[in-house]
Structure formats: structure tokens, C-alpha cells
């Protein structure tokens, strides 16, 4: 060791400081050159690292609940949709309701009572599934004892709201088993979107017999979704759950439609960082980083050129709430001026960069045949005129306005861009204030803000999921704006049984509300996805639902082969209708 | 010696109590609640949720209940992961962070001590400059730069190790190196400083005069004294390695307890925050005690009793 050190020392002593610098620089250059991207049409490896009957995906974070009655987050929803099956299922491309556990149904003339006829089917433990399992699940959803954050989804059922308030008995819910395979559901209003909404994860059946079994064995019933206990009726069944690492699912052979399920195994990891998930995709550790993983915005320009990159519109709107009681924003003219001064096209092109669609409408296009209002997305001249009319020509004399957002690089960039636009177009200096998430939520709840960022993801494909936000008694309405006319219009629309007529009324309501501008819509979300070219059976749809049951690995895929142009990566037509 | 240990252990009790009171008060003072979300939760349902965790009771009562449970070893329920207890969450994540810490510690000691000794015994040579430049880089380059760089080169270009995840030995190397390098830089500088302090001492000159070989001088005579600053540094360093690293565990998706320091606070997951703070405090206090005891063995001038 000593001799070696001495010899090396002699060599190094001869080396001048300059050559040392040259050495370090050369080494760094070699390293950097080695790191340059090789030209491939695909982002990362295109050879599956597992057998053909398996897929590796990401589900971004540890879900709060895998219990359909309690789940309220998309990561839990993703698992529930693939391990449970409700009365209807959503078509993987169009999201139209298709028969699932119910083979067919009747609807009463007033559109309020649905009668579902269930197919004979089984739970994964072989126990027959009956209409009582649905009754049990839906009563449990609204029962205040359950403490479900999504209990409000059950308020569409007769007596749902009263039960959750403890004002009615749980068994008075408008969901009844007429016999073991006939279920009757009575709704409060004739909701035209009911069948679409019914495929939502809150409405899955729950194995009543498992609860009894756990109770007899003295096991905490809250733990029923753990792999050692869980009994399900969907395409896959959980076999392993490593907390905050990964879950493993195997095909459920008792599933009524098991013949159409192609994969034997699904490995779901929980990787929160979008950059880490992207790295794992490049290395082939993910075939699909999953519906709920967004791609890092700074990579967007780079990723767009790859063939395995896909994007599609998503049922979500990014907007700013305005507290309409605090001056100067109590004046609709000022609110409209602020909205018209925002160059939304520039915002989505230069700031958000994920292919979002700039929009001044609250309801995105294409929901159940609803035609959007297509309000002007940018009109600075009109904005200046409105502001002058409100008594603040060129922004002079306008009291201070603060824009709050929850701490995030993305929200900050959007807020800064809009701050600059308002300064430039209207001469208004707006203060920006970022707040930690829970503080932000507390301030929103207490209406302690002037302008506040919000995003809203629709739960079902109907304009009502967005328009409901502005009703007077909606707990999510953070504008302090309420209008009897607006409430009456929505109520009138809900009572209407004719879909066309109903949409016309809803359109009128949206136009009425946006003329008052209690919120400033900015853009419609998009989902960006990386999907390995050998993965088939994933469709882009606006609710980002991608059932694993249709997915498969195409072993015959060769790199260089053209992939289809959109997220529709199915090369063979998949028989969806049974 | 035993008396000292007992006294020091007794002193831990009021310190821990202060930490419990302070963190309980701080976490409750923060605005917001574990159950606030973008979507409004009906008031009745919210009350039920709060009652489940005992948040409906007055704060002093909640505190007494918490202390009572704590004495029984029960750290409470998590609100973010409602099917798990805090004990279960820590039991799940702690062995992971421990494994990562072990690798990081080994790496930082190996590199840090070697570089420090080389720098000192070849002071003001290219050896010294190289070692100290490397140490400076190690200290200055943050883990959120080093981690992704290692992933880029080792995982994505050379395909030698997985970019992230946890499961077997090759998952631990990159996060271990990333975490260890930060500490290695500091250790190298402390080690070099320590060595230079003793290199001109009388006892070293005496040893040289006696004709003791350079190898024996470095390892037998200089090393035990020179390592003392490193030992004091290692107490808090090991405590923070053991309780995981927020950044490294996020980058490599390591399911340890590091991210809870930030996430649990953001989620207002009251009991989980408390559990993690207590765990960290416990290790910090314990390791400082260990360091003090070790001093007695390494430095004859320190009388621990």
C-alpha cells in the first residue's frame, strides 16, 4: 500500500495543475457524451421484461381505502374498478354504460325508478352474488356510521341525504332487493346521467357474507380489503400488498366475464414522483406509468416526438374562484374584465405545455351531447372597456387584489403568467400568495381569499357535474355567489325527462352564471401517457378509465413497426358487448 | 460508568416530554384538518370521522389520552392510511430506512475516512487537492442532483442497476451511495482536520523518533485521536440517516420513513407526525449518549465517569 502510494504520488507530482484540469474536463465530457440520447422512435426499452400474460403499471400512491363504500381518491378507484364490478360497466373507449352484473334494466315512465335484472354470478370465494349485496353496499355508503367521504354520491337515491343526517332509518333507502336477482333503485330526481354515474366505484357491491364471517372470527371489519381477507367480484383479485411499494393482482377465475380477461397477473407499483416513474418506464420497469401518473411538464416538449407518447382530453377544468362579496370583485364588470384579459391560448402553449385546451367555459365540450358555450377566450379591448365602465380606467383606483394558490410549481407558473397579463392588459398589480395545501383548503372553506385556484374533475359524463358547483347549497361553491334563477334552472333541468330539452336548459344556466363570472375558467385538462408499443387494449377517454380486463401484451410487436396514431392501441377489435 | 449511563438515561425523560408537548401543540396549531379536502364532506360524516380518532374531545383530554396510549406503546391511528396504525407504519418503513442507512454509513465512512487520511498525510499535494475537491463536491452537490445523475448514468445508460424501487440488494446501492456521499464529504474534511491536529503533536514526534513505521503511526497513534471530531459528527448524522431521507427516498421510491416527515405534516396526519418526531428524537438523544461514551474509550483524556 505504502509503496503504491509513493509511486502514484511521484507520477502525480510530475503532473502539472493544468493537466489535472484537462483530465477532469475530458472525463466530464466523456461522461456527458455517453449520456446523450440515442435516436429511437420510442422512449426507452421496447422489450417487455416479463411474460406475455403480465403487465407492470404504476398507481402513483398508496390508496387511502380499497373499500368501495369509503374510497374517495383516484388511486383507490383504479384498484376498485378492476377488482369489483357493479351493475353496469363503462365502455373502455366511449364510456357508455354497458351491461355488467345487470344484464338488462327497465326504467319507469317518470325516469325515477330503475329495475335491474342481475345475472347469476359469484364472489371470488365461490359465494353467489345477490341483489342483497348491492343493497348492503349502498346502505353502507350513506350510513353515517360508515363515515364515507363520498357519502354524497348516495344522495341521488331516495332518502340517501336524510339517512346520512341521521333523520331516517338506514333500511328506508330507495334501494331494494325484489328477489335474489332483481334490484330496484328509486332516485330523488330523474337523472339522465344515472346509468353513466352508476359505473362509479362508490356503487360496487360488497360481500355481506365476508363481513359476517370477519365479525364471527373477531377480526376488524375495516381490514376486509386486505389480501388475506378480501373477496371480490371483478376481473382481478389482489394476492399481495406491500405497503407503499406494490400490489399484485391475479386473474379472478370466478369473474362472470373471465373468458375475455387476457392477463394473468398485474403488478401495480406506487411511485409518487412523476420523474421517477418516467425513469422506471425508460428502464422497462413499467409498461404503462398508469392513468393517475402525470408526466413532468418540463419533459413535455421532448416527449411529444416519441411514438409511445399519447395525449387525450380529460374531464377536468382548471379555474379561479372569485370571492364575489369582497370589493372590488363584488362588481361583475371587474370579474369579467379579469377573465377577458387572460390570453388562454398563450397560457396553455407556453406555460402548461401539456396540450391543454384554453377555455372560458365551465363545462367542457362533448359531455352527453352538450354543446359548449364557446365564450371568447381572450378580448383585451373589451376587458379594458369593462374595467373603465366599472370605474377603474386603466386599473386606476382599483383596491388591492390577491390571488391565492396551493404551493406547486405548476400553479405558481400559471399564476405568474396571469399576473403579468393583468398587469399588461389592465394595468392591475395583483399580489400572489402561495399556501400549503391544508391551509389553502381551510381558507377556501372559510372564504378567506379574493381569488383562489381550483381544479374540478367531473365524476360522470354530464354537464351537471360542473354546473352543480355554482348552486346556492353546494358545499363546494367557493364564490359566495348564489342566484335563485340559476338554482331554479338547474332544478327545472333535473326534473326534465327529455334529454335534449334538459341540455338546452343547462346551457342557458351556464350562460347565465358565466355572464356574472363568479369563477374564471382557464383551461380543460388533458392526460398525457406513455404506453409501451407492445401494450394493447388501452383507450384514451375523458374519464381516464382504463380497465385492465381489456389489456394484453402483443408478443409479435417488432420495433420499427408503426403503432396506431392515438392511445387506441388495440390492433384487433375487442368484443366489448356480451 | 453505569451511574453516568443511568443519569443520562433519566435526563432523557424530561427532554422527551418537552418534545412531545411541543410537537403536539405545534401540529394542532397548524390550520386545516386531516379531513379537509377539495370536495366537501357532509358535516355529519365529518363528525363521525373526528369522533373515530377522538378529535372531537377538548385538546387537553386528547393530550392526556395520547400520553396514556404512548406509555402503553400505542402511537395511535393514521388518518391518511386509515387501515393502519402508526406503529404498523413505522414497523413497515423503519427496517427499510435502516438498511439504507447502513449502506450509506458504510460508504460514507469508507470514502470519508480514506480521503481524509490521504489528504492529511499527503498535505498540499495533488492527492490532498483531489481528495478535498471531491469532498467539497460531495458536500456541495445536493442529493436531488447526485441521485438523478447516478440514475441517468448507471441505470438508464449503463443498465447496471434499477432506477428505483425496493426489494433486493441491487435496489439499495444507488440510494445508499447518494445518501452516503453527502456525509462522506463532511467526514473527509473532519478526518483530515483531526489528523492535521495530531500530526505535529509531541507523542507523534516521539513515536517517529523511536523508529515506529509510518503505518503504525497513522493507525495506532494518530487515528484514534483524529477520529474524535468524526465521532461527534456521527451521532446526529446516524440519527438522521436512520430516520430516512425525504429526498433520497422520494427519488428512488424507497418505502422508508423519510417522506413522512414532510407528507404527514402536510396531510395533518397528527399521530403519524408525532410518531415520527418521537422516533427521530429518541435516536438523536440515544446516539448522542453513545458518542459521549465512545469518547471515553477513544480519548484517554476524557473521563466519562
Q: List CB contacts (< 8 A) between B39 and chain A.
A: 72, 149-150, 152, 476
The yes-or-no verdict on residue A15 having pLDDT over 50 is no
The secondary structure element, H or E, covering residue A475 is none
Q: What is the pLDDT of residues A232-282, one digit of tens each?
A: 999 999 999 999 999 999 999 999 999 999 999 999 999 988 899 999 999
> Given an 8 Å threshold on Cβ–Cβ distance, is A2 in contact with B155?
no
pLDDT at residue B303, rounded to an integer? 66
Instruction: Give B265 to chain A, closest Cα distance, Å.
Output: 10
* Portion of chain A with pLDDT greater than 90, in percent: 66
Which residues, other chains included, contact A574 with Cβ-Cβ below 8 Å and sequence gap of 6+? A92, A260, A537, A550
Cell 448524522, residue located: B237
Which residue of B lies nearest to A11 if distances are taken between CA atoms?
Answer: B126
Which of A34, A151, A476 faces B157 most closely, judged by CB atoms? A34
| Residues of chain B contacting A145 with CB distance shorter than 8 Å | 48
Residue A160: per-residue pLDDT: 95
Residue A302: pLDDT band by 50, 70, 90 thresholds?
Answer: confident
Compute the mean pLDDT over every residue in chain A, rounded to the nearest whole number: 87
On chain B, the residues whose CB falls within 8 A of the CB of A269 are: 165, 253
Gap from A20 CA to chain B (nearest CA, Å): 9
pTM of the predicted model, to two decimals?
0.87
Kindly determine whether residue A276 and residue B251, on different chains, have CB atoms separated by under 8 Å. yes
pLDDT band at A216 (very low <50, low <70, confident <90, very high): very high
Residue A518 has pLDDT above 50, yes or no: yes
By C-alpha distance, the chain B residue nearest A6 is: B122
Q: Which residue has the higher pLDDT, A459 or A187?
A: A187
Q: Give yes or no for a contact between A173 and A162, defined as CB atoms under 8 angstroms apart.
A: no
> Would the pLDDT of A311 be above 60?
yes
- Which residues from A are below 8 Å from B122, CB to CB? 5, 9
CA atoms within 13 A on the CB side of A43: 27
Give pLDDT, residue A574. 37
Quote the minimal CA–CA distance from A381 to chain B in Å. 35
Average of per-residue pLDDT values in chain B: 90
- Nearest by CB to residue B155, choosing from A64, A222, A283, is A283
Inspect the interface and report whether the beta carbons of B82 and A9 lie closer than 8 Å. no
**What value does the mean pLDDT take over residues A507-530?**
94
pLDDT of residue B304: 58
Pairs of CB atoms within 8 A across A/B: 152
Give which of A32, A103, A59, A394 is closest to A246, Cα–Cα.
A59
Nearest to A144 among B45, B80, B129 (CB): B45
Q: B260-289, pLDDT tens digit by residue? A: 988 999 999 999 999 999 998 888 888 888
Nearest to A89 by CA among A539, A448, A472, A549: A549
What pLDDT score does A369 carry? 82
Confidence of residue B243 (pLDDT cuts 50, 70, 90): confident
From A51-55, A103-107, A184-188, A567-571, the region with the lowest mean pLDDT: A567-571
Chain A residue with the nearest C-alpha to that of B91? A243
Contact A312, A92 (CB under 8 A): no
pLDDT value, residue A427: 92
If you write DSSP's letter for every residue of A37-106 in order, what string do you get? PP--SSSS--S-SS-TTEEEEE--S--S---TTT--SHHHHHHHHHH---SEEE-TTT--EEESSEEEEE
Round to whole Å and give the CA distance between A19 and A28.
Answer: 14
User: Looking at residue A36, what is its pLDDT?
Assistant: 45
Cα angle value A369/A370/A375 (rounded, 5°): 145
Cβ–Cβ below 8 Å for B253 and A273: yes
Please, which residues bridge with residue A251 across strands? A236
If you search the block for the grid coordinates 390577491, which residue do you land on?
A402
Min Cα distance B144 → chain A (Å) is: 12
- Higher per-residue confidence, B185 vs B295: B185
The pLDDT tens digits of the residues spanning A62-76 come to 999 999 999 988 899
**Cβ neighbours of residue A100 under 8 Å, at least 6 residues apart?**
A85, A86, A87, A88, A89, A199
Q: DSSP characters for B226-258?
A: HTHHHHHHHHHHHHHHHT--HHHHHHTT--SST
Element (H, E) at A400: none
B186 or A18, greater pLDDT: B186
Q: What's the CA gap between A18 and A21, in Å, rounded? A: 5
Closest approach of A476 to chain B, Cα-based (Å): 6
- pLDDT, tens digit, for every residue of A140-183? 999 999 989 899 999 999 999 999 999 999 999 999 999 999 99
pLDDT average, residue stretch A7-36: 43
B289/chain A closest Cα distance in angstroms: 33
**pLDDT computed for residue B305 by the predictor:** 55
Mutate to test the interface with A, among B28, B31, B161, B257 (most CBs of A within 10 A): B31
- pLDDT value at residue B299: 75
Geometric angle at alpha carbon B171, from B170 and B172, rounded to 5°? 90
For residue B127, give the chain A residue with the closest CA. A9
Specify the pLDDT at position B86: 95
Instruction: Convert the pLDDT of each residue in A488-516 to its tens digit.
Output: 999 999 888 788 899 999 999 999 999 99
Cβ proximity of A532 and A287 under 8 Å: yes
Mutation target among B26, B40, B44, B45 for the A interface, most CBs of A within 10 A:
B45
Q: Which of B77, B50, B61 is nearest to B275 (CA)?
A: B77
Q: B252 to chain A nearest CA, in Å?
A: 7
Of A441, A455, A475, the CB nearest to B32: A441
Residue A572 is predicted with a pLDDT of 37
pLDDT over 50 at A50, yes or no? yes
Query: Has residue A421 got a pLDDT over 50?
Result: yes
B221 grid coordinates: 497513534
Chain-chain contact of A285 with B215 (C-beta, under 8 angstroms): no
Residue of A244, A273, A282, A436 to mutate, interface with B, max B Cβ within 10 Å = A244
pLDDT of residue A32: 47
Calculate mean pLDDT across residues A127-152: 94
CA pair distance A107, A102, nearest whole angstrom: 13
CB A170 within 8 A of CB A137: no
Q: Chain A partners of B41 at a C-beta cutoff of 8 Å? A: 149
A353 vs A29, higher pLDDT: A353
- Residue B12 is predicted with a pLDDT of 85
Provide CB contacts within 8 A for A189, sequence distance 6+.
Answer: A112, A156, A494, A495
Strands A309-322 and A519-530, by their bridges, are: antiparallel
Q: pLDDT, tens digit, for every residue of B70-91?
A: 999 999 999 999 889 999 999 9
* Chain segment B106-145, per-residue pLDDT in tens: 999 999 999 999 999 888 899 999 999 999 998 899 889 9
Quick one: pLDDT at residue A197? 93
Q: For the stretch A300-334, what's the b/e string if a residue is b when 16 or more beta carbons lie within 10 angstroms of its beta carbon?
A: beebeeebbbbbbbbbbbbbbbbbbebebbebbbb
Per-residue pLDDT at B6: 87
Which chain A residues touch B150 with a CB distance below 8 Å?
none
Beta carbons within 10 angstroms of residue A542's beta carbon: 22
Cell of A334: 371587474
| pLDDT band at A542; cut points 50, 70, 90 | confident
- Split at pLDDT 50, 70, 90, the class of A2 is very low
Residue B18 pLDDT: 93
What is the tally of helices (H) and strands (E) in chain A? 17, 20
Residue A242 to residue B255, Cβ atoms within 8 A: yes
Mean pLDDT within B181-208:
91
Which residues on chain A are in Cβ contact (under 8 Å) with B36? 438, 441-442, 445
Amino acid at each position: 500500500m505504502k509503496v503504491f502510494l509513493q509511486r502514484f504520488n511521484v507520477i502525480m507530482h510530475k503532473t502539472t495543475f493544468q493537466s489535472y484540469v484537462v483530465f477532469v474536463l475530458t472525463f466530464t465530457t466523456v461522461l456527458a457524451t455517453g449520456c446523450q440520447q440515442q435516436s429511437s422512435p420510442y422512449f426507452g426499452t421496447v422489450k417487455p421484461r416479463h411474460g406475455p400474460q403480465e403487465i407492470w403499471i404504476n398507481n402513483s400512491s398508496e390508496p387511502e381505502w380499497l373499500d368501495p363504500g369509503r374510497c374517495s381518491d383516484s388511486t383507490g378507484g383504479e384498484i376498485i374498478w378492476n377488482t369489483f364490478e357493479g351493475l353496469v360497466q363503462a365502455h373502455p373507449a366511449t364510456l357508455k354504460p354497458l351491461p355488467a352484473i345487470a344484464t338488462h334494466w327497465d326504467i319507469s315512465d317518470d325516469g325515477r325508478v330503475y329495475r335491474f335484472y342481475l345475472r347469476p354470478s359469484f364472489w371470488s370465494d365461490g359465494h353467489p352474488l345477490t341483489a342483497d349485496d348491492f343493497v348492503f353496499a349502498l346502505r353502507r355508503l350513506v350510513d353515517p356510521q360508515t363515515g364515507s367521504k363520498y357519502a354524497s354520491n348516495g344522495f341521488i337515491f331516495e332518502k340517501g341525504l336524510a339517512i346520512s343526517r341521521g333523520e331516517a332509518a338506514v333500511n328506508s333507502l330507495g334501494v331494494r332487493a325484489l328477489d335474489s336477482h332483481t334490484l330496484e333503485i328509486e332516485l330523488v330526481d330523474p337523472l339522465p346521467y344515472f346509468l353513466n354515474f352508476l359505473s362509479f366505484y362508490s356503487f360496487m357491491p360488497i360481500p355481506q357474507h365476508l363481513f359476517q364471517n370477519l365479525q364471527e372470527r373477531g377480526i376488524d371489519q375495516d381490514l376486509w380489503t386486505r389480501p388475506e381477507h378480501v373477496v371480490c367480484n371483478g376481473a382481478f383479485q389482489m394476492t399481495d400488498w406491500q405497503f407503499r411499494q406494490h400490489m399484485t393482482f391475479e386473474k379472478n377465475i370466478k369473474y362472470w366475464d373471465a373468458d375475455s380477461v387476457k392477463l394473468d397477473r398485474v403488478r401495480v407499483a406506487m411511485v409518487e414522483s412523476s420523474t421517477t416513474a418516467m425513469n422506471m418506464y425508460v428502464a422497462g420497469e413499467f409498461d404503462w406509468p398508469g392513468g393517475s401518473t402525470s408526466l413532468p411538464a418540463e419533459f413535455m416538449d421532448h416527449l411529444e416526438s416519441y411514438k409511445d407518447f399519447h395525449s387525450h382530453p380529460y374531464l377536468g377544468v382548471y379555474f379561479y374562484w372569485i370571492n364575489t362579496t369582497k370589493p372590488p370583485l363584488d362588481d361583475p364588470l371587474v370579474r369579467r374584465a379579469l377573465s377577458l384579459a387572460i390570453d388562454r391560448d398563450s397560457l396553455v402553449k407556453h406555460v402548461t405545455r401539456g396540450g391543454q385546451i384554453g377555455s372560458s367555459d365551465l363545462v367542457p365540450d362533448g359531455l352527453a351531447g352538450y354543446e359548449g358555450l364557446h365564450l371568447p377566450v381572450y378580448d383585451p379591448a373589451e376587458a379594458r372597456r369593462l374595467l373603465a365602465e366599472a370605474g377603474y380606467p386603466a386599473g386606476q383606483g382599483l383596491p388591492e387584489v390577491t390571488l391565492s394558490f396551493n404551493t406547486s410549481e405548476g400553479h405558481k407558473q400559471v399564476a405568474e403568467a396571469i399576473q403579468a397579463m393583468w398587469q399588461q392588459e389592465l394595468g392591475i398589480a395583483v399580489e400572489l400568495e402561495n399556501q400549503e395545501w391544508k391551509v389553502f383548503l381551510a381558507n377556501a372553506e372559510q372564504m378567506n381569499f379574493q381569488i383562489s385556484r381550483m381544479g374540478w374533475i367531473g365524476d360522470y359524463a354530464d354537464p351537471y357535474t360542473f354546473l352543480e358547483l355554482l348552486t346556492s347549497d353546494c358545499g363546494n361553491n367557493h364564490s359566495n355567489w348564489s342566484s335563485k334563477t340559476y338554482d331554479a334552472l338547474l332544478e327545472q333541468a333535473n326534473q326534465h325527462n327529455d334529454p335534449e330539452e334538459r341540455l338546452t336548459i343547462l346551457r342557458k344556466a351556464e350562460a347565465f352564471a358565466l355572464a356574472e363570472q363568479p369563477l374564471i375558467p382557464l383551461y380543460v385538462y388533458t392526460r398525457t401517457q406513455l404506453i409501451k408499443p407492445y401494450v394493447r387494449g388501452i383507450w384514451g377517454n375523458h374519464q381516464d378509465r382504463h380497465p385492465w380486463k381489456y389489456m394484453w401484451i402483443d408478443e409479435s410487436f417488432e420495433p420499427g413497426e408503426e403503432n396506431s396514431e392515438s392511445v387506441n392501441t388495440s390492433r384487433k377489435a375487442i368484443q366489448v358487448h356480451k | 460508568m453505569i451511574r453516568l449511563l443511568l443519569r443520562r438515561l433519566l435526563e432523557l425523560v424530561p427532554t422527551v416530554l418537552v418534545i412531545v408537548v411541543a410537537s403536539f401543540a405545534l401540529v394542532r396549531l397548524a390550520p386545516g384538518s386531516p379531513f379537509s379536502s377539495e370536495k366537501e364532506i357532509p358535516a355529519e360524516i365529518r363528525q363521525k370521522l373526528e369522533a373515530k380518532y377522538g378529535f372531537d374531545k377538548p385538546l387537553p383530554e386528547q393530550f392526556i389520552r395520547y400520553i396514556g396510549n404512548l406509555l402503553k406503546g400505542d402511537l395511535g391511528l393514521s388518518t391518511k392510511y386509515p387501515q393502519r396504525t402508526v406503529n404498523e407504519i413505522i414497523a413497515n418503513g423503519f427496517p427499510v430506512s435502516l438498511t439504507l442507512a447502513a449502506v450509506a454509513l458504510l460508504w460514507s465512512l469508507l470514502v470519508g475516512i480514506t480521503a481524509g487520511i490521504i489528504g492529511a498525510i499527503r498535505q498540499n499535494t495533488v492527492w490532498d487537492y483531489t481528495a478535498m475537491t471531491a469532498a467539497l463536491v460531495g458536500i456541495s452537490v445536493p442529493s436531488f442532483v447526485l441521485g438523478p445523475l447516478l440514475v441517468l448514468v448507471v441505470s438508464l445508460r449503463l443498465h447496471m442497476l434499477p432506477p428505483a424501487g425496493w426489494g433486493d440488494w441491487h435496489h439499495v446501492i444507488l440510494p445508499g451511495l447518494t445518501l452516503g456521499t453527502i456525509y462522506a464529504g463532511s467526514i473527509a474534511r473532519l478526518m483530515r482536520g483531526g489528523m492535521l491536529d495530531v500530526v505535529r503533536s509531541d507523542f507523534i514526534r516521539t513515536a517517529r523518533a523511536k523508529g515506529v513505521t509510518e503505518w503504525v503511526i497513522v493507525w495506532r497513534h494518530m487515528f484514534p485521536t483524529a477520529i474524535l471530531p468524526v465521532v461527534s459528527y456521527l451521532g446526529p448524522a446516524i440519527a438522521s440517516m436512520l430516520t430516512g431521507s425525504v429526498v433520497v427516498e422520494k427519488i428512488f421510491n424507497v418505502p422508508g420513513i423519510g417522506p413522512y416527515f414532510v407528507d404527514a405534516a402536510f396531510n395533518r396526519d397528527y399521530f403519524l407526525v408525532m410518531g415520527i418526531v418521537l422516533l427521530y428524537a429518541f435516536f438523536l438523544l440515544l446516539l448522542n449518549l453513545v458518542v459521549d461514551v465512545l469518547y471515553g474509550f477513544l480519548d484517554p483524556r476524557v473521563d466519562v465517569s
